[in-house]
Structure 1
Amino acid sequence: EFGLFIGLSADIDGMVHMSDLSWDEAGEDAMKHFEKGQVVKAKVLDVDVEKERISLGIKQLQEDPAADALASIQKGSIVTCIVTAVQANGIEVKVDDVLSGFIRRAELARDKAEQRPERFAVGERVDAKVVTVDRTARKVALTIKGREVEEDKQAINEYGSADSGASLGDILGAAIRRRNTDGEG
């Protein structure tokens, strides 16, 4: 129930905890790939002489596939994710095909009427802002709402001000007209 016990010699056993079986699969799912009597390679993670325990790891024989993504992702950055599951309380996503992420229902859109997980489909690509990075659990929390609010603030800063009395539609219209004019000249 805790993992795999591995005989290292006639009278020495080690244990691979479920969390040290696979980078990608949950412990119970990873355990299904092993059976009694199977020969496996493992890395020694810790030796506790007093408790007579040897901790082993199988996933540590390979590099963590999420290591590069975890090293490059920062709180506040905008990332493109792929929806992997739609739930009542939000959507699960993958970032860089390796990091699991979640966007809570309240973070799906600025407009409350759009905060419906069912409007998303598995396989759909969405841009979201990183709220937190849990490097130990290899997961990220994200927000689409926060990304939308940030984009609005940038548009107002670049193309108008809150004091000008201009609506966001006026500001965006000016931005589009400016882009079209700049693109032609």
Structure 2
Amino acid sequence: MITKYDETKPNADFDWDKYNRESDISAEQLEEEKKKYAETIPNITEDEIISGKVISMDKREVKVDVGLRAPAVIPTSEFRYNKDLKVGDEVEVYVRKTESKDGRPLLSHEDAMRDRAWKRIEEALESKETITGYIDKSIKGGMLVNIFGVNAFLPGSQIDVRPIRDFEEFVGKTMEFRVIKVNPDYHNVVVSHKALIEEELESQRAEIISHLEKGQVLEGTVKNITSYGAFIDLGGVDGLIHITDLSWGRVNSPEEVVEIGQKINVVVLD
């Protein structure tokens, strides 16, 4: 049975004051409920790196839950390096804002990766660690090398101990490098492959020299010719033959006796 509103009669015996008292939450209870709710929200601050879980994704965006009131929306392009990313994966994100205008946290995966990369790069510089990088492309004066997701500059003079004219032959290759300079303020990193080669050569030189003795006869290759003699490569160590020791007779020019690339036997004088 439906009763018209204007025909209803209020119950004179109903205690409205008691009803209001029982239904209202006290200030103390309200404060307690707020405290309990606050404890469920993680203590997240801006400019820190945290971990979140991928809850959904498509071609345009990836939604990441970090425990706040709403998930963050991150462009899928920031995960382009990770072709195997799927729902449920844990990912690191950098907190730009805990809450933006739309109520969602503003997070960035790229910024987190970049921050981690800079820490690794600075550690590699300090420890002189040998790292692996991918040569992305050639530019004026050298090449761009991707290390830990950051572009580093490889000067042309730091590619090899020998002069390199065509940088394109190295593009697309993965090589080992040494970080030789870092400027975080300008996001500049300089790496060298030459430094590793020189270290290896120095190690070889030390090994060879440790076994050299006066009077020892060795085979070497003519590496360079000057007006005062010829430099002989002994397999990592360069030795000098003075022009007066090239022949028993008088020699006007070393080129009368030897030529570059020629293999000759020599004796160690000192």
TM-score (norm 1): 0.49
| Higher-RCO chain (CA-CA 8 Å, sequence separation at least 6) | 1
Highest CA radius of gyration, 1 or 2? Answer: 2
TM-score (norm 2): 0.36
